[in-house]
Amino acid sequence: MERGCTESISGRCCWLLPKMETAIFSDRHASIKSAYENPLNGWNNPPTSHVYCIRHIGQNFVRETKEKKLRPLVTNMGYAPREPSFQYWRNELRKESVEALNWVDKIPKEKWTQAYDGGRRWGHMTINLVEAMNSVYKEIRSLPITALVKATYSKTAALFGTRGMDAMAV
């Protein structure tokens, strides 16, 4: 791994978020994992958790197993909100390919599934931040900048409360 890449990612991590319970989404690239695990950048667990993007899990699954038709089963496993539905999709994958299931089982469930993540994902499964923010800004995009900042703060605070309660109810 190139040293500059790891240092660059670590440098950005130091100031990106204050210390708060949150999930850091990424693919499973070695430089990202190294930056996350670097104790000097402040991302150590707690207060954060490093989780994987379901889209990247699906891409890696197809690349490694050559089982493109089974990708939806893996995606459904990741999106399953509770353990019984996760187990249902896991059994469906087992029926199709034990080798594919073995590949999936090598990834810690708490890193890529909603059913086992302890609510840290707040319902988000991908790193597609633009789409997530578009859904938040939908009603306030045309406001002047000061009103936009205030509305963003209020809306974000409300979402944290609502999503936190939803996650705890699961």
pLDDT band for position 158 (cuts 50, 70, 90): confident
pTM of structure: 0.56
In this predicted model, which residue has the larger pLDDT, 37 or 116? 116
Report the candidate in 15, 165, 33 with the shortest Cα–Cα distance to residue 108: 33
pLDDT band for position 147 (cuts 50, 70, 90): confident
In whole angstroms, what is the distance from residue 58 CA to residue 45 CA?
25
- Give tens-digit pLDDT for 27-64: 555 655 666 566 666 656 556 677 788 888 898 899 99
Report the candidate in 155, 125, 157 with the shortest Cα–Cα distance to residue 141: 155
Cis peptide upstream of residue 47 (ω within 30 degrees of 0):
yes
E strand intervals along 100-145: none
Kindly list the distances between the CA atom of residue 103 and the CA atoms of 31, 65, 90, in Å, as whole numbers in the listed order. 22, 8, 12
- Give tens-digit pLDDT for 58-100: 988 999 999 999 999 999 999 899 999 999 999 999 999 999 9
The answer to whether 99 and 64 are in contact (CB under 8 A) is no
